[in-house]
Amino acid sequence: MINNHLDKLQEDLIKQLYAVEEKENSKIRQLLSKLEKKEKEISDKQRNIVNIKQHATDLQLFLSIKQIEEDVSSKDDILNSLVQDENLKNHSLEYKLYTAIQNTISDINSFRDIHIEEKPCEIVLNDRTVFTYYTESLVKVFSNEGLKEFQVKMPCNVYDIAYSSEDNTLAVTSGKSDKRCITIIDVEKKHIKKIISLDSITFGIALRENELIYSGYNKGIRMINLYDESISDIVQDRMPIECYIATVGNKIYHTNHVTNTVTCYDQQGKLQWTFHNESVL
């Protein structure tokens, strides 16, 4: 939407520039036409003077010179008027940037100082450690000795991860990826078992028995039943991006980096308490 608006502004600006340029070109063409006409008239007078000098009598020369003086005087007045006219002044095309826009651009320039630091999410299994690599769309599994056992190329970006010991699988969320899903990886077979498509982007995820609980951005906190893949809402409040979830017993803990809080809900989504500390979160 922002790009479309900027494209429209650019298109309007180009149209204005073309209109101003065409107007000035028209003035220049009119001025050149006037000057060419006067140049032709002066050339004609010069030829007449040569002819008069060669063929006219003294009286004819005197009378002709008086007429030429009057003509030259009138032409001089015309040339002076052209010189004084705005059309003969130097024109330059320029643009003026509104102060508000200039301030905005100054603010945008500060974006150059922003850098992105990628930190892979990790989960520790009994004898392995699993990492997600967001921009590389990879899940890598390492032994306790730090040796890479295998990796799985994912169909989208990856964000958070949860492990199910019941069937030895990993559930991986897709973060801000265009492909909105949770991908299930079979650890034993070292490949993707299935992909569960969703209608929202997903970030933090946790396992509780046979249910996956995840932070679904504008869909709030949601739960997927792994048996039939049915989805139910736990908390319907809109959540920011990049939130994490943990479960302990029948309690759900949800982080919020925008408000610097950790919020506790029961399994029905009822608020229990909120912890707030800007220096910690």
pLDDT, tens digit (0-9, with 9 covering 90-100), for 163-196: 998 899 999 999 999 999 999 999 999 999 999 9
Q: How many other CB atoms are found less than 10 A from the CB of residue 213?
A: 23
Tokens describing residue 64:
């002709």
Q: For residue 88, is pLDDT > 70? A: no
Query: Model pTM?
Result: 0.57
How distant, in Å, are the alpha carbons of 64, 112, 146, 191, 239 from that of 150?
107, 37, 12, 10, 34
Q: What is the DSSP letter of 226?
A: T
Q: What type of residue is 207?
A: L
pLDDT for the residue 252 = 95
- Dihedral sign for Cα 56, 60, 66, 68, please: negative
- Chain position carrying tokens 């399994």: 267
Nearest to 194 by CA among 132, 152, 243: 152
Share of the chain above pLDDT 70, in %: 65
For 275-279, what is the mean pLDDT? 79
Tokens describing residue 218:
């504008």
Q: For residue 278, is pLDDT > 90? A: no
pLDDT for the residue 19 = 76
Sorted by where each starts, the structural domains of the chain and their CATH numbers stand as: 2-113 (no CATH), 121-276 (2.130.10.10)
Angstrom distance (rounded) from CA 151 to CA 192:
11
SS3 (DSSP) at 104: helix
Tell me the sheet residues that pair with 196: 182
Model confidence at 113, pLDDT cuts 50, 70, 90, reads very low
Angstrom distance (rounded) from CA 149 to CA 269:
39
For 219-240, what is the mean pLDDT? 94
